[in-house]
C-alpha cells in the first residue's frame, strides 16, 4: 500500500511496469495520446486527464482522436485543443511524426481507431497502453491492462499515483478523470461497488473536482433533438421480445436528420430499456450518418449475460461483460435480423 495525504489504496500495478513507464516518460518530450473512435467520457476524460498531468511535468502533449466526441464533453480542460484525425489529418500526422512516446488509452485493438490506428502502429517509437478492456492486441513497450477496473480514468489516476505524482494532479485534470469514472459507471450505478472506487473518487474531489457540477454538465446539457429522438424511438422503433427479456431498437439516418441530430444525442439510450422490470438485454442499432451501409451496434446486459461475447460473435465488436458494441456493414433491416439471431443464440440464459 502507498499513502498520499489521507488516502490509502492498494497498488494494482506491477512495480516493474511502473518503473519501465517512468523511464520512458523521463526519456520522452513529445508525447501523443489517443483513444478509440467515437470517444466517450472515459476516452476523452482519460486522455485529457493524462495530458494535463504530463504538461505539468513539462512535456509537450498532443491529444488525437479518430473522430469527434459529444458536445457535452467540450467543457473539459484541453478539449478545444484535441485534434480530430478525420478532419485534421495533416496536423495530426505531423504531431505523430515528431512524437517520441505514444499512449493508447481506453482501447484494446488498433482497429478501434479506424485509419488512425495504422498510422500510430507504423510510428516506430515507444508505446504505453492503459486500458480496461479484455484481450489487448496493441503492440507496446508497457501494458497496463486491468479489465476489473471501473474505467480507464481510474487506471490513469492509479498510474499517476503509482509514479508518486499524485501531487501533480490539478483541479482541471481531476475533473477530466472524474468525468470518465462517472460516465463509465452510469453515474455510479454499475461497476462501482468497490469501496476503493470511492476512495479514488475522493482523491479527485480532494483536488477540487466538483462531482455534482460534473454530473450537471454531462447529464443536464442535452439538446432538444435528443428528446425528439428518444420519444420517437420509444413510440415507434423499439421491439420488446418478452419471452427473452430483451429489446431491440433502431434509428435511421433519415430519422436523425429530421430531428436535427447532434453528436452525443443518443448517448445512453441503450441503457433505458434495462430500466424495465425483468429486462436483461438491450440492443441499439443506429445507421451511420455518412457511410452506407454501416450500422453502429450498442449492447447492454445485466448479471452474467455476456454482451462482449455477443458483440464478438454477431457484430464484429467486443467490450465488457455488460457493455459492448460493434459495427455491421449492412442495411438497418439486415442488422435487425442479425440482432434477432443474436438474441435467440442466448435464449437459454435470457429466459
CATH number, domain at 25?
A: 3.90.1640.10
DSSP string, 301-318: E-TT--HHHHHHHHSS-E
User: How far is C-alpha 280 from the geometric centre of its chain's CA atoms?
Assistant: 22
237 and 257 together in one domain: yes
Last residue of a domain, one of 160, 189, 219: 219
Last residue of a domain, one of 219, 253, 285: 219
322 and 229 together in one domain: yes
Q: Which residue in 39, 167, 34 sits closest to 110, CA to CA?
A: 34
138 and 267 together in one domain: no
Angle at 204 between CA 198 and CA 209, to 5 degrees: 120
24 and 131 together in one domain: yes
pLDDT score, position 319: 87
CA dist., res. 293 & res. 216, Å (int) = 36
Counting residues of the chain whose pLDDT is more than 70, the rounded percentage is 99
pLDDT score, position 230: 96
Three-class DSSP category at 63: strand
173 and 272 together in one domain: no
53 and 84 together in one domain: yes
CA dist., res. 66 & res. 92, Å (int) = 10
73 and 207 together in one domain: yes
Q: What is the CATH number of the domain that holds 246?
A: 3.10.310.30
Low-confidence ranges of the chain (pLDDT < 50): 1-4
CA dist., res. 178 & res. 157, Å (int) = 10
pLDDT score, position 5: 57
What is the domain count for the chain? Answer: 2
Q: Which residue in 143, 150, 167, 163 sits closest to 46, CA to CA?
A: 150
232 and 264 together in one domain: yes
pLDDT score, position 120: 97
Handedness of CA 115, 118, 124, 125 (dihedral sign): positive
Contact call for residues 335 and 307 (beta carbons, < 8 A):
no
Q: Which helix (H) or strand (E) holds 126?
A: strand 126-131
The domain of 108 spans 2-219
58 and 111 together in one domain: yes
252 and 311 together in one domain: yes
207 and 84 together in one domain: yes
pTM of the predicted structure, to 2 decimals: 0.89
192 and 282 together in one domain: no
Last residue of a domain, one of 219, 234, 266: 219
Amino acid at each position: 500500500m502507498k499513502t498520499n495525504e489521507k488516502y490509502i489504496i492498494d497498488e494494482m500495478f506491477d512495480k516493474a511496469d511502473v518503473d519501465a513507464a517512468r523511464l520512458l516518460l523521463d526519456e520522452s518530450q513529445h508525447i501523443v495520446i489517443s483513444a478509440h473512435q467515437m470517444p466517450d467520457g472515459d476516452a476523452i476524460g482519460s486522455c485529457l486527464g493524462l495530458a494535463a498531468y504530463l504538461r505539468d511535468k513539462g512535456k509537450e502533449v498532443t491529444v488525437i482522436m479518430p473522430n469527434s466526441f459529444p458536445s457535452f464533453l467540450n467543457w473539459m480542460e484541453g478539449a478545444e485543443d484535441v485534434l480530430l484525425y478525420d478532419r485534421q489529418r495533416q496536423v495530426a500526422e505531423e504531431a505523430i511524426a515528431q512524437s517520441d512516446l505514444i499512449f493508447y488509452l481506453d482501447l484494446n485493438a488498433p482497429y478501434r481507431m479506424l485509419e488512425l490506428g495504422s498510422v500510430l502502429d507504423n510510428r516506430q517509437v515507444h508505446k504505453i497502453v492503459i486500458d480496461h478492456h479484455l484481450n489487448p492486441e496493441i503492440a507496446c513497450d508497457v501494458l497496463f491492462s486491468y479489465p476489473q477496473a471501473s474505467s480507464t480514468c481510474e487506471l490513469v489516476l492509479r498510474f499517476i499515483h503509482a509514479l508518486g505524482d499524485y501531487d501533480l494532479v490539478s483541479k482541471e485534470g481531476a475533473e477530466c478523470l472524474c468525468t470518465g469514472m462517472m460516465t463509465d459507471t452510469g453515474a455510479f450505478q454499475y461497476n462501482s461497488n468497490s469501496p476503493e472506487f470511492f476512495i479514488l473518487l475522493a482523491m479527485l474531489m480532494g483536488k477540487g473536482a466538483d462531482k455534482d457540477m460534473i454530473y450537471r454538465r454531462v447529464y443536464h446539457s442535452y439538446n432538444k433533438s435528443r428528446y425528439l429522438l428518444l420519444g420517437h424511438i420509444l413510440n415507434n422503433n423499439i421491439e420488446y421480445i418478452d419471452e427473452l427479456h430483451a429489446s431491440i431498437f433502431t434509428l435511421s439516418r433519415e430519422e436523425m436528420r429530421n430531428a436535427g441530430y447532434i453528436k452525443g444525442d443518443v448517448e445512453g439510450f441503450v441503457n433505458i430499456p434495462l430500466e424495465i422490470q425483468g429486462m436483461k438485454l438491450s440492443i441499439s442499432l443506429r445507421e451511420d450518418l455518412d457511410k452506407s451501409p454501416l450500422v453502429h451496434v450498442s449492447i447492454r446486459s445485466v448479471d452474467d449475460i455476456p454482451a462482449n461475447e455477443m458483440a464478438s460473435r454477431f457484430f464484429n465488436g467486443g467490450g465488457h461483460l455488460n457493455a459492448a458494441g460493434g459495427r455491421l456493414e449492412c442495411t438497418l433491416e439486415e442488422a435487425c435480423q442479425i440482432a434477432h439471431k443474436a438474441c435467440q443464440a442466448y435464449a437459454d440464459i435470457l429466459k
